[in-house]
Structure formats: C-alpha cells, structure tokens
A and B are shown apart, each in its own frame.
Chain A
Amino acid sequence: MPVRVTLDVMLARRKVRARDVAEQIGLSETQLSLLRTGKVRGMRFDTLSKLCLVLECVPGDLLDYDRDDMDLTAKED
C-alpha cells in the first residue's frame, strides 16, 4: 500500500518507547507493533489524534504517501 506509517521515525525523534506510547493511548503493544509495521488495514481518527497528542506532532508526521498512479484504478480487497 502506498500509504506508509512512519511512527517508528517519530518514536525515534521523540526518544520514547513504543510500550510507553501504547500504554498512554490505550492500545496493546501488539496492536501498536502491527501499526508500526503497516500490517493493519487502517487507523481510526481517535487513535491518530491520541498519537499526535502524545508525540506532539501532526498526522502528516506519522503518515507518508508514495505516489502510485494505479491508486485511482485499484480495487478494494
């Protein structure tokens, strides 16, 4: 998928551990790990806003997009 989760970069910049962030935003470590590795179908807005609050950033700092012209014609799984 061309949308990438760049949570790892932000965690490294803020020098916080994933376990602490998971605890603060009310996710399990497994869920946060899945999110970091991009193995989820999507992210809820409330999870995104909690991450932004805890990491003091904006959604653009946590997500990136690799341009792919096929996206317009791609079908849902």
Chain B
Amino acid sequence: MPKVSLPISVILIRIVIVAVWLSFFFEQAGARALLHLDASDGPLLKTPAYWVSLVAPSFFLGGLWAASRALSRVKQGDTFGPAMVCALKNFGYALMLGAFAAIVVQPSLIHLFANGFTEMRGVRFDIDVENVTLALVGMTLILLARQGQQLKTTLDEFV
C-alpha cells in the first residue's frame, strides 16, 4: 500500500475541525444546562434534544473534512480528477444537508422531544440567512464540480 503523506496545511485544518467539534460539543452542553433548555434532571448528555442540536454542526464539520481532502488533492497536483470532484461534491452535499438540518430537522425534532411527542402541528422552520447561504453555497459547489468534471472529460478528449 503506498504511503500517503498529508500536507501540513491539511493536517492543521483537520486538527482545527476536531478541536471545533469538541469545543462545540462542550459549549452546547454548557449552554443547555445553564438555560435549562431540556427541563430534565437526568444527565444532560442523555437528552435527545442535546444530540439533535449536534446534527447540523456535525454535517458542517464533515463538509470541512471533505474540503481538507480537496485541498490535499490540490497539493498533490490533482486539478479535477475523480477524487477531487468527489471531495467537492461531498463538501457541497454536507453543506446542504447541514443547512437543511439546521432549518427544518433540528427545530422540528427539538420541539417534538421537548413536548414528549404530544403535539406536532406541521413542520417547524428556523430560517436564517447564514443557513440559507450555506445551502446555496453547497448547491453551487456541487454544480461547479459537475461542470468541472464535464470540462475535464472534454479536455481529456484532446490528444
């Protein structure tokens, strides 16, 4: 198996991703405990609302991980190969899914859990500019990756 050495910038990005995820994990725990958002006396980490609140950031950080893969491909000189396109698409999908989770999934599920599944009238939305922008950026990345792949295929047909 060939030894793959990651560029230092990619390693740094990955360290930052793990650090951000851990800090977010504990920050969320602290905030929810302070504000008594979960209204439970049990351990905070066992409350479903807490875990639901981690869904969107996990997607976003997964997207950053995919971005670091794309950067490492750039460093290795891969302009628009299959691995690069895959990494860009994954980044785009992660941003879109994260934004969707933040806008629709999290508010609905947190509301459901908070009320013990007793009331649910329609779907809850939490539309804010940041998440809508991230979703559009993700969609643009996916489209650009597809266009780039087509251009690369066309260029490869030139000898």
- A residues adjacent to B (C-beta < 8 A): 27, 31-32, 34-35, 40-44, 47
Contacts and interface: CB of A to CB of B under 8 A. Distances in A.
Contacts, number: 19
Name which of B154, B158, B159 has the most chain A CB atoms within 10 A of its CB.
B159
B41 interface: no
Contacts of B159: 27, 31-32, 34-35, 40, 42-44, 47
Interface string B146-159: 00000000100111
19 contacts: A27-B159, A31-B159, A32-B159, A34-B159, A35-B159, A40-B157, A40-B158, A40-B159, A41-B154, A41-B157, A41-B158, A42-B157, A42-B158, A42-B159, A43-B158, A43-B159, A44-B158, A44-B159, A47-B159
A22 B154 CA distance: 22
Nearest to A41: B157
